[in-house]
Structure formats: C-alpha cells, structure tokens
Structure 1
Amino acid sequence: MKQDGDAAVNVPACFISNHEGFRGSIKNFIRDFVVTEIDVGGQRVTAAAANQTPPPRASSDGNSQSGAQFKESRLSPHDSDGSSPVDATPPSFDLSVILGQSVSEELEQFVLTLKDDKTAKQELSLGSFPDKHHRANVHRVVRHRFPFLMTITIQPEIRVREDPDYRELSQLVTEDEAEDFFRFIDAKVRGSSYAFGPDGDKEHRTAVHHFLSRRFGKLVETKSFSDQGATAITVRLREQGRPKKRSGEERKEEEVYTGFTLRKENLETLEAVSYMAAALGILPSDFTYAGTKDKRAVTYQSMVVKKVAAQRLEEKVSEFTKRGMHLSQIRSVGEPLRLGRLRGNHFDVVVRDLRRHGGGGGGDGGRLSGANARARLAELVKEAVENVEARGFVNYYGPQRFGGGQSVQSDHVGLALLKEDTVGAVRLFFTPEEGEEPPSHAKRHFLQTDNAKESLALMPLSKARERLMLRALNRYGTGPDGCAQAWLSLPHSMRVFYPHAYCSRVWNDAAAHRLTTLGHKARRGDLVWRQEGQNKVEDAGEAGSPQIHVVTEEEEQREAYTLGQVLLPMPGNTVKYPENCVGAWYQERLARDGLDKCRFRVSSLKLNLPGCYRPLLACPCNLRYRLQEAGDGRGEVTGGGSRSDKPLNGQTEEGTQDSLALILNFDLDSSCYATICLREIMKCDP
C-alpha cells in the first residue's frame, strides 16, 4: 500500500459506509492523478478551456456548505461576493423536457393562479431531483422562464413560490420591468447594468432607489441619469475586489495583472510559484491563486501575477516548460485571485493493482485470478463506489495538509507559532528527514551549527521556503527577533499554512470523536446551517443569509436535520463551538495543547485565524468509474494527462499485466480531498 507518508497516523479511521472495500495503489505514475480546478463559474481550468463544455455545476447546490439541506436558488441580497455567474443562459428552455409534461403543465397553471390572486401565498412542488446538476438546470430554467418565482431546494425536492421581492418591486415599476430586472440579477454578469424606463416623479424614483438599496444594496448600485430631459434609474452590479482607480493617465507597473493557466507535474504549487518568481525577478507574493494543488500529480489551475505584462510572461514560457510548468491562456486581467475563489476540483484517478483485503504480507496479498474472482472484485468496486456516491465520506483533511512523510508534521510547527514560540517553530521547521538527501543534510547542519549562511549554501535551489528562512536567519540572527523575521520573510499564504495545519488536525480529531461518541445522526447541541428566521418550511421564502443554528432536543427527536447537515468548527477567534460533549472536547483539546487562552492571533507574525465551519460529510459529484486491465491503462486518464510515463515511486508496470486498474472521475467541492474520498471507497489508505 502507498502513499503520502503516515496517512494512517494523520487521518482517523472513521467511515460512513460499511462495505468491504478493496486494496490498491495510487500515484504510481504522474498521469495517474490529474487534478483540474473548477472556477467559480463552474468551468474546468485547462489549457484548452475554451474548447470544452464540462457538466454545469449547480449554482444553488454547489457551495461549500454541501451539507446544508435548505437553499434558495435566487441570489440573496445578502450575497455580495462578486462571483462570476454560471452561464446565464439555461441549457434548454423546454420545461416539458426538464420537468416532464405533466409537471410542466401543473407549473403553468400554478403561475396563472398566482397572476389571478395576488393575495395567495401558495407553493408548488416540482418533484424530487436526486442529481445535483439536474436540480441546477431546473432552478435556472424555471427562474429564466418565470423570474417572479423563487425556487427552493429541500433536498432532493424543489418547490416554487412567488418571490416576495418581485411582488414588492412590481408595485413600484411595471411587471415587464420587474421581470427583466430579476433576469438581470440572476445572470449576475460582471460589469453589466440595467435601466428602468423614464420616470419624471422624483419622489417615486426615491422609493425605487430605497427598495433596491434595502434589498440588493450589497450586490448593486443605483443612479438616476437624465437624457434629453427624461430621467431614469440605472442599476449596475458592484465590482467588488476591483483595483481602485488612480489619478493620471499612466498605469503604474504594480497595477498590471496577467492571468494564465498553470499545468504542473510533480511540483508543489509553492515550489512552482517560487521558481517563476525568481525567474521573473519578483516576489512569490506577487502571484495569486485560488488554492494549492497536489505535488504528486498533473494539475491545472488559474493564476494571476502582478507587475508582469503578458508579453514578458510569454517570453519565459519555454524556460518554465523545462521545469515541468506549462503556461497557457496568458492574458491581461483586472485584478488578482483570492484564496478559496474556486468551486472545487475535478479528479481523474487511476487505482492500480486492485485486490481484496486480506492475504497478509505474503503470497498473492489478496490478488485475484480467474473469471469468478475478478467478477467478485468488480462487485466489491461497484458496491463501494455506489455507497460513497450515495452517502458521501467523512470530510477529513488529507495527509498532504500535514506534510506527509516529514519527520515533524506541519501542524506541530503551527502549534508552536500559535504559542508565539518562533524559535521552537524554526527548529521544528528545519527538522531533517532520515537519510542524506541534500535538503536533510542542510537542515541537519543548521540545527547542529546554527550557521544559516553555510546551511543556505547547502540547501538546494528548489527548496524555496527553506532558502527564504535561511537568508533571513543569516541577516537577523537565530534569536527570537531573528526567527520572527525569518517567518515574516515567507509570503503570508506560506506562513499561515502552518497554523491552519494545526487547526485541521484538531478538526480531524474532533470529527472522529463526534462520530464515535454521538453516532451517525444529528444530535442535540450539534451545529447546522439554517436560514435566518426559518422556523418552518413555510417561512423559507423570506429567509436571509444562512446562520449557525444549534440543534435542539426536540429537533433531534423528530430528526429535523441529517448527519450531512452537521458542521464542525475549525478553531479560531470568531467561531461557535457545539453545545454538547463535542464542544467540551474542543476546550479540553486546546487546553491540553496549551491554547486554552489563545486568541488565534499572532500580531508579531501578522497572523489572524478567525476560524470557519466545515461540513462533517462531503460527497463526490459526477462520479464515474470503469475497470480495465492494467496493461491497457497507459494514457487512458481523461482531463489532460501527462505524456510522461515516469513512475513516481520508482516502479515499472512490469508484472502488473494480470492485475486490474480502476479509473475514477469525479468532482469535489473546494477543500475536499480526493485521497479521503478514495479512502472511504477502498476502506484503507490508498
């Protein structure tokens, strides 16, 4: 079995399904693990993104709170993240195709009833739609056809009712204007605007301005414009995050942003960024991206670099290609990227050398031969994949979050930083691995001599973080102040990684404790998302932004919430903890680690950890699989595999011709780990 270091130590062994599973190995070859970023618009980020049409991701169901059961599909006035829209035009306008003839006719009759009776507060069920992307299409098509309707998801059911905001706006403007305005809001096209008809009544215009500001103020801005004596209200979507305009005609160098797609092989994201920064003569912090990607893989992701024009970046493409970094779709953009600004990731994975559990360390190790044995293995794979597709998996942070394979895990470094022990954190950071590899030799030399200059000369150029730290230690010394400067020499995204790793470790242990002590149902004191003011389903149409809700004893008894809706907090200075034994466990754990009085702020290192809420369970989308002979698997992975057949673990495919390989393709929300999904499928560490 492989890989990722001490995965069994890093990640607790709690599972949701009880199928038997199977054994196998991943990441034997670079092409065996392909990760493709999915941007906020639901598009896969590849070198040929313009030529592909991936399955659309549900705008109403695809957020990171995948466990939240109740969702409104129309953008709430409280949502103002400036995200790019999913394709504003629905894939089909034929409601009878999307809903079926009978439901489509029932919806048309429901709309006629609403038009005739303005006082009615009615609701219609469109039926159940188990497939997330089918639900997304229903939401989009119904809203485009009937902008005055609000579509509501109570998984997997979709209901519709009249949008109260539409009703209020239609009393101020014409119904046609109200419908067009809501289509404009739903499309959410960056930089777009909508103009109401001429209105000579200033008092009436003021009422419209006030309504739009009250209900959509975080999303739009309104102004009155006069043209040839007629005055009309124009509404424009806010461009949040847009760089501020500067006076003068010349655009300063630091305002230049260039976007591109990065395809890398067997490289850490931070390693790739550090090399590109050195080649361009800029800082690693001048690069922004939505998330880091696996090292042991072929990965595709969007990036933006500041202070580098597109032409200059293109001149470096051939140099970067030699280092395993392929840049494409280089273009000028208006703003940097932000961490977390992605929908998720698409994975194309090969699991090789499939065999049943058991068999010990000798003999055939559980390998199968013969038609009957292979048929049994196929049954095990089918059962496992279908279980995880239906029930999901425990949403653990994967072993790569903790720096798998290192003698000292990243979470230990993060704990030292949270305790403001910068010297101890530096010593932990430079703990060498076993063996005499150049990086370990350089680290060992530093710990033995405290000579940062000599250690820097020994450290390979590819080790960007270590070299940044050693340069600072050489300049400022190895005392507390020098070690603080060494940490500050790292870009913030690198620096904050370590405290986040500690918080991730705590979350993983909390998840295991929650499942072993409280089981697989939502219990009193658990945390869930709930719409503000949602006391019953009928109130949902007027609900505001999601709020953290504590499950009551009465809600536990009637099973008002499912395990998939339960959240656990990442430790931080703004989070609420569960009000049951899990909350007590958090406090005991933090106290045991010496953080009982921690504010999760380290001002000297410019670190602030507000915390967040992470669903206890995650679920793969668009899951597909197939079995094939291992010898037929070369180059079969979709999503843009590498031409390189170099093994990542030093092995060859000789002797594997008689084994089966499993090809898996699936999507995960951001911050979910494919290795953890595979772990649930296989019932072991892949």
Structure 2
Amino acid sequence: ALCTRSDHTGFQGRIKTSASDFIVTEIDTLGRLLSENVDKTLPGLGGMPAVPSSSSPQNTHRYWPKPLELHSEECYQRLGPFDNPSLAPEESLLPAKDSTEPVAGASSKGGHHEGATLDSLLDESVNELLNQFACNIKGGWDSEHDPAAHPAEFSLGPVLDKRNRADLHSAIRQKFPFLMTVTKNNEIIVKANSDYKQLCQLVSEKEAFDFFKFLDAKLENSKFSFKPDGNKEHRKAVHHFISQKFGKLLETKSFSVTDFCDQHNVAIIVRFREKSWSRKRPATDCQEKQDVYTGFILRKENLETLEAISSLSTELGVLPSDFSYTGIKDKKAITYQAMVVKKVTPERLKEIGSTIVKKGMNVYNIHSVCQHLRLGQLKGNHFDIIVRDLKLQSNDSSADLKERIFEAIENVKTEGFVNYYGPQRFGQGQTVQTDQIGLALLNEEMVKAVKLFFTPEDADDPVNQAKRYFLQTEDAKGTLGMLPEFKVREKMLLRALNRYGINQEGCTRGWLSIPHSMRVFYVHAYCSKIWNEAASFRFITYGSKVVEGDLVLAGENVDENSSVNDRVHLVTALEESANKYALSQVVLPMVGHSIKYPNNEVGQWYQERLAKDGLQTCRFRVPVLQLNTPGCYRNILKYIHNLSYHFLEDGVKGIKTEEDSHLNESKASLLLSFDLDPSCYATVCLREIMKCDL
C-alpha cells in the first residue's frame, strides 16, 4: 500500500465526474498557459473556443503569443555571459540533435578567420573564458600540474540556431584542435580532445595541430602528410593510431619521398576514404532537404494522448512517430498540450480541423516551427479540478466539513506530497494493468504480453467482445473485423499477428508493428510501479529523515528524462548527523541499466524486488523490440504551486459559499486550481489531500 506524507484526517469526494471537471493545461517553459488567448480565427477549429482558466486569477498574466517559440527556458535562465538573443532568430532554427554534431562549412582559410567567427558569434566575456579554458587545458598537458585543478568542461550555453552551432563547432576546433566540441540539447560543451594528446606522443605537436585541422575541415580530395620518418616501427604505430581512431573516415599509406638534399625517406599520407567527405553536406544543401515541422496546441477530451496521436497520424497520412510532445496527459479530462508534427504543413493540418472535432480533438495556434519537442520540455501543468459529493471520512466525528478541507489543503501546501506515479499510469480499473505487460516484455515473453494486452474487461461492449473472441480462437483476422476503427493499437498488432502467427516470433513482430513510444510505455509503466513501491518502503523505513546511503540530487530538481549520474550523491554518515540535506533533495532511481542504487536498506529492497519478478540479471534492454531503458531519478517529495480554491453550491461554477457558512454535504463541491512540476500527478496530490483513493 502507498503511504502518505502527512497525518491529517482528510475528506471524501469524487473527481472526474465529467471531463470538464478535470482540465489540464500545459505550462510552457516560459510559464505560459497553453489554453489562454489561443487564436480562435484559424480555419478548421470547429468553432470551439479555448477554455480559459478563469478560476485561477493568479495566472491571468500568462499568455500564448503566436507563433510559439519552441525553445527551452534554459535559453533565458542559463545563458550567463552568452546572453545575446539576436544569435537565435526563430526563422533560422533547425532540428536539434542530441549527439555530437558534424561541422558544416568548415573553412580552409588560415589566419584570423576562426577568431573572427568566434568574435562575431560569442559575447566578449565568453570568448575570453573560452580562451582561458583552452590555455588551462594546454597548460595542464605541458606541465606537471594536476589537471584536475581546472574544470574538465566548458559550456558556451544553449545556441539555438543550428548554423550558428555548426560555425562555432568549426571555429573552435580549427582554432583549438586540441579541444573537442559536442552538442547536448542545443548546448555546446567544450572539452579536451584526448586523441590529440595521444597523437602528440607519436608526432610533433605542430603535426598533431595541423592533422586535426585537416580532419575537421574535411575538404574534398584533400590530403595530409606527416613528416618523413625512417623508423618503420614508429610509422606502424602512427598507421595503427589513425586506423583505430578514424578508420571509417580516413585511410593511410606510406610513400617514398625525396627531401631537398636528395635523401630518400618514407612519409605517411592521409586522405579521406572515397565519398566520406560528402557525408558533411553544405549548410545550404541541408537546409533545402530539411523536414517540415508544424507546431500546434492540441485540445483533447476523453482521449489518451497516444490514442489521439494515432488518430491524427491516420488523418494526416504520417507515422505516429512523426509527432513529438512534452508528456502524456490524462484520458478522462479536457487537456491542452503543445505538439509538433513532422512532414505536415500548417495548411494541411488546418484542413483536418473539422474532421477531428468529431473525435474529441481541436487544434489551435497552428504555425511553422523548426524542430521537434522533447519529453519534459515544459515547466509543468496547470489543473482546474472540481471535487464533487464532499463528505467527512466515515470514521470522522467532526461536524465541520469545511474545517477538515481547509486543514487538509493547507497541510499539503506546506508539507508537500509523496511523488508517486498516478493510477492512470497503470490503466486504472483495468483487469490487466500496463505494468504487467511491461514485465512480460522485459522477460521477453512476447506471447504472454500479447494475451495480457487482449485481456478483456467485464463489460460487454464491441471492444471487449472482440478481445474475448481473440483469446478464445486466436483468430487475428476475424478479430480485426470486430474492432472499432479507433482501436488503432489493437488493429496494428492484429494485422501483424495475422501475417506472422501467434508464436514467439510472430508476437515479437506484432509488438514491433506498433510505434516505439507505445512499446516503451509499457516498460516504463513497470519501472514506475517499482518506483512507487520503493518510495513507500523508503518512507516506512526511514520516515522524513535523510539517512546514510540515501541518494540526493544537489541543486535544482530534475525531470524524469534527465541523465544526472554525475550529480547524484550518496549521503555519508557525517552528512546524516549534520542534517546536510533536505528530504526534498532525496531521489530514488527508476530502474534501468545506467543508474545508481541507494546504499542502505532501500538499495537491498530494489535487488530483492527485481529478483521476485525474475529480473535480477535484467539489463533493461530488449534488443528484439528496440527497447533500451537507461533509468533516471525522481524526487520522492514534491510541492504544489499557485494554489487557489473555493467552494461551489450545487456544483455550479462561480457560486462561492460564504467563508463563515456551513457546507451542505449533499450540494457542496470544491474547485481547486494549482500548478505541478512536470511528471507530477494531480490525482496523487489529491489523494494526499483527501486521504482516500480516487
């Protein structure tokens, strides 16, 4: 059973009586509510206006100008000395990559070209810091000083324009070939090039310097020659180094050469492998072939996010994987969220507006953007929730319901709530929950996972009739004809099963037929269930005290998708006795192949719990399904923000009860408006407030 953070009495009530009782509005990275001031004049919107959050006056400063600037809040909060918004015009944004970027347009010019590029793109103070960082790296190599005395990395901050990033990569590597640059979420990171240092042990520093300039420029038909070398073993070592480090890109040969004194010797010539230079296309060519990206706000009602995407992809003739979004929203609710679709123009998206209205969707603020969205790329979510049928707890003898409600809300506002994953993560009320399917997939029990997927509920509607028929007959083709069109996932899986059969291989192909985001959803559901159980065990075992062996995250909070191993710290006995850390800094791992576990009873619990499910040796990779789960960390405690609440008589919005009046239990409802951080569940927060399962 899931425990709670505080010990107030709570109260009873019902949520999600209708979709309009539970409105979820995404908050973008600049703190703006997506549902406010949307453009209601765009064609294809079905005449349905946005629902403003009139019940939360503290948020009326939020707005949604168009076009939407789809970039991270980090661009404003973390630029530091690189604070030059003119370097990131929206029209020139290109799709970002999370890996090392190839350098485009590297110049073969020498002299001050690279310095001029850096001067034009970097703020003067950043340029100075970069030069100082380069000197420290070089100085550390050339001296006996401890290299750890200086930072190992230097960040230029986020650079949104891809062409500017490419120019910066090129200029830095050309000016400082002993440095390497990588891009992480639009942020350029500079660090020492260990390959350069290693080459300096084989050849002169000037040769290493010139070789890496040649390598980075990557000019068609260009060659590089090392100095003549009469030592065969030494030449062999140089050949081996280049083959090992750059063999896919470069080839080397030894040629006989004659110097100016007519002395014969041997030199190593390096050239790019045939056509390898062409992998780096000119920036203009890249621009011509860029995919089209269209951003929009999706309003959906009584629909899962993935179900909505499947329906939209069918209407637009693209794949579900062409959609990107910042997070999955509730099903039984009205929700507003940002989305980006690839390969679809704004005009094409507007054309389907009237069609999708019939399916419970609307699209607003349709406009061109230049990159996809990332999970977690939001500041949080705003909730407007009506709790109906308010009552005292059955064992509560208090006569004042209003007092109980005030006490509960203010308590959670102060103390926070345990940051559990909500019941909708697991398929609330379903016979088979999503985590069970995820466990079967992790154990590579493909047939079992399929049969769990098609396990029916007690209802006798067409969907459940079709599922029962399938389990009884294994007739995939017949089941296809019984299912309604909106059951997109089920139909995709059945088509593959009909083609390949209902065996291990056929079911594997079946799972591969549905989008990756849907496959990984089930595995994440299992990992979420383990996290919930771990959080309960942690609170039951250690309470609110931060103890030795806990994992803490120093500094700012982290979202579900961050990789933060370098910032996660094991609490020592000394730190425990000094009360160095707060409970809000404690994190627990979502199981995966790249995480640390607590070094106390909680860590032992994880091992025993995974062994119970047969996952003691699990690497959290399922190659046959292209699933890879590295894991992450999640704060065990979260707080509610921008909270406001008032009572409604007869559940009618806008009619407040007098502050000193007594609530009529049969008629009173409660309207709550608040913000939560990304990946926090309003149902979990309400459970903490009300002290009852919802």
TM-score (norm 1): 0.67
Residue aligned with 1:460, SS? coil
Cα deviation 1:95-132 (Å, max 9, x = unaligned): xxxxxxxxxxxxxxxxxxxxxxxxxxxxxxxxxxxxxx
Paired position in structure 2 for 1:33: 22
Question: Does residue 595 of structure 2 align to residue 575 of structure 1?
Answer: yes
- The answer to whether the Cα contact below 8 Å between 2:299 and 2:337 also exists between their aligned partners in 1 is yes
**TM-fit CA distance, 1:245:** 7.5
**TM-fit CA distance, 1:563:** 1.8
Residue aligned with 2:414, SS? helix
Cα deviation 1:357-383 (Å, max 9, x = unaligned): 0169xxxxx9x9xxxx4xx22211111
Residues 630 and 198 of structure 1: CA distance in aligned 2, closer, same or farther (over 3 Å): closer
Residue aligned with 2:643, SS? strand
Structure 1 counterpart of 2:410, from 373, 379, 386: 386
Question: Which stretch has the larger CA shift, 557-566 or 667-676?
Answer: 557-566
Paired position in structure 1 for 2:103: none
Task: Decide which structure has the larger Cα Rg and report it.
Answer: 2
Residues 281 and 35 of structure 1: CA distance in aligned 2, closer, same or farther (over 3 Å): same
- The answer to whether the Cα contact below 8 Å between 1:487 and 1:495 also exists between their aligned partners in 2 is yes
- Identify unmatched segments of 5+ residues in structure 1: 1-11, 58-81, 89-139, 148-180, 227-235, 361-365, 533-543, 637-655
**TM-fit CA distance, 1:240:** 4.7
- The answer to whether the Cα contact below 8 Å between 1:620 and 1:666 also exists between their aligned partners in 2 is yes
Residues 274 and 393 of structure 1: CA distance in aligned 2, closer, same or farther (over 3 Å): same
After the TM superposition, which residues 411-560 of structure 1 pair with which residues of structure 2 at under 5 Å, given as runs? 411-530=435-554, 547-560=567-580
Question: Does residue 210 of structure 2 align to residue 286 of structure 1?
Answer: no
Residue aligned with 2:567, SS? strand
Counterpart amino acid of residue 15 in structure 1? T
**TM-fit CA distance, 1:560:** 1.3
**TM-fit CA distance, 1:199:** 13
Question: Which stretch has the larger CA shift, 298-307 or 559-568?
Answer: 559-568
**TM-fit CA distance, 1:443:** 0.9
- The answer to whether the Cα contact below 8 Å between 2:390 and 2:666 also exists between their aligned partners in 1 is no
- The answer to whether the Cα contact below 8 Å between 1:261 and 1:300 also exists between their aligned partners in 2 is yes
- The answer to whether the Cα contact below 8 Å between 2:548 and 2:570 also exists between their aligned partners in 1 is yes
Counterpart amino acid of residue 586 in structure 2? V
Question: Which stretch has the larger CA shift, 623-632 or 514-523?
Answer: 623-632
Residue aligned with 1:397, SS? coil
Cα deviation 1:309-359 (Å, max 9, x = unaligned): 111111110111122101111111111212222221110100011110016
Whole-Å separation in 2 of the counterparts to 1:567 and 1:189: 38
Counterpart amino acid of residue 17 in structure 1? S
**TM-fit CA distance, 1:263:** 0.5
Structure 2 counterpart of 1:676, from 655, 680, 684: 684
Counterpart amino acid of residue 155 in structure 2? F
- The answer to whether the Cα contact below 8 Å between 2:421 and 2:684 also exists between their aligned partners in 1 is yes
**TM-fit CA distance, 1:219:** 3.8
**TM-fit CA distance, 1:282:** 1.9
Question: Does residue 615 of structure 2 align to residue 595 of structure 1?
Answer: yes
Whole-Å separation in 2 of the counterparts to 1:195 and 1:451: 68
Whole-Å separation in 2 of the counterparts to 1:425 and 1:207: 56
Whole-Å separation in 1 of the counterparts to 2:430 and 2:321: 25
Structure 1 counterpart of 2:670, from 662, 667, 678: 662
Counterpart amino acid of residue 629 in structure 2? L
Structure 1 counterpart of 2:370, from 320, 328, 334: 334
Cα deviation 1:236-257 (Å, max 9, x = unaligned): 9979569x98777697787111
Whole-Å separation in 1 of the counterparts to 2:128 and 2:2: 63
Whole-Å separation in 2 of the counterparts to 1:55 and 1:468: 43
Whole-Å separation in 2 of the counterparts to 1:322 and 1:218: 45
Structure 1 counterpart of 2:636, from 610, 616, 634: 616
Question: Does residue 425 of structure 2 align to residue 401 of structure 1?
Answer: yes
Paired position in structure 2 for 1:43: 32
- The answer to whether the Cα contact below 8 Å between 2:11 and 2:404 also exists between their aligned partners in 1 is yes
- The answer to whether the Cα contact below 8 Å between 2:121 and 2:168 also exists between their aligned partners in 1 is no
- The answer to whether the Cα contact below 8 Å between 1:287 and 1:303 also exists between their aligned partners in 2 is yes
Residues 620 and 56 of structure 1: CA distance in aligned 2, closer, same or farther (over 3 Å): farther
Paired position in structure 2 for 1:605: 625
Cα deviation 1:386-436 (Å, max 9, x = unaligned): 111111101110000101121111111100100111111111111111131
After the TM superposition, which residues 1-150 of structure 1 pair with which residues of structure 2 at under 5 Å, given as runs? 12-46=1-35, 48-49=37-38, 54=59, 83-85=71-73
Residue aligned with 1:632, SS? coil
Paired position in structure 1 for 2:55: none
Residues 270 and 207 of structure 1: CA distance in aligned 2, closer, same or farther (over 3 Å): closer
Whole-Å separation in 2 of the counterparts to 1:336 and 1:182: 24
Residue aligned with 2:424, SS? helix
Paired position in structure 2 for 1:159: none
- The answer to whether the Cα contact below 8 Å between 1:260 and 1:328 also exists between their aligned partners in 2 is yes
Counterpart amino acid of residue 42 in structure 1? G
- The answer to whether the Cα contact below 8 Å between 1:528 and 1:550 also exists between their aligned partners in 2 is yes
Whole-Å separation in 2 of the counterparts to 1:526 and 1:587: 16
Question: Does residue 420 of structure 2 align to residue 346 of structure 1?
Answer: no
Structure 2 counterpart of 1:259, from 282, 295, 301: 295
Whole-Å separation in 1 of the counterparts to 2:123 and 2:463: 71
Cα deviation 1:258-283 (Å, max 9, x = unaligned): 11110011111111111111112222
- Give % identity: 49
Whole-Å separation in 2 of the counterparts to 1:454 and 1:421: 24
Paired position in structure 1 for 2:145: none
Whole-Å separation in 1 of the counterparts to 2:122 and 2:485: 65
* Bigger relative contact order (CA 8 A; separation at least 6): 1
Residues 667 and 246 of structure 1: CA distance in aligned 2, closer, same or farther (over 3 Å): farther
- The answer to whether the Cα contact below 8 Å between 1:20 and 1:384 also exists between their aligned partners in 2 is yes
Cα deviation 1:578-600 (Å, max 9, x = unaligned): 00011000000001100000000
Counterpart amino acid of residue 276 in structure 1? L
**TM-fit CA distance, 1:575:** 0.5
- The answer to whether the Cα contact below 8 Å between 2:10 and 2:404 also exists between their aligned partners in 1 is yes
Counterpart amino acid of residue 304 in structure 1? V
CA RMSD of aligned residues (A): 3.8
Question: Does residue 239 of structure 2 align to residue 215 of structure 1?
Answer: no
Residues 249 and 438 of structure 1: CA distance in aligned 2, closer, same or farther (over 3 Å): same
Whole-Å separation in 2 of the counterparts to 1:549 and 1:606: 31
Structure 1 counterpart of 2:394, from 355, 358, 377: 358
Residues 530 and 186 of structure 1: CA distance in aligned 2, closer, same or farther (over 3 Å): farther
Whole-Å separation in 1 of the counterparts to 2:635 and 2:129: 44
Residues 212 and 260 of structure 1: CA distance in aligned 2, closer, same or farther (over 3 Å): farther
- The answer to whether the Cα contact below 8 Å between 2:391 and 2:665 also exists between their aligned partners in 1 is no
Residue aligned with 2:523, SS? helix
Counterpart amino acid of residue 520 in structure 1? S
- The answer to whether the Cα contact below 8 Å between 1:262 and 1:303 also exists between their aligned partners in 2 is yes
- The answer to whether the Cα contact below 8 Å between 2:648 and 2:654 also exists between their aligned partners in 1 is no
Counterpart amino acid of residue 291 in structure 1? G
- Identify unmatched segments of 5+ residues in structure 2: 41-51, 53-57, 63-69, 94-116, 138-152, 160-164, 172-180, 188-279, 557-563, 657-663
- Residues paired across the two proteins, number: 509
- The answer to whether the Cα contact below 8 Å between 2:594 and 2:630 also exists between their aligned partners in 1 is yes
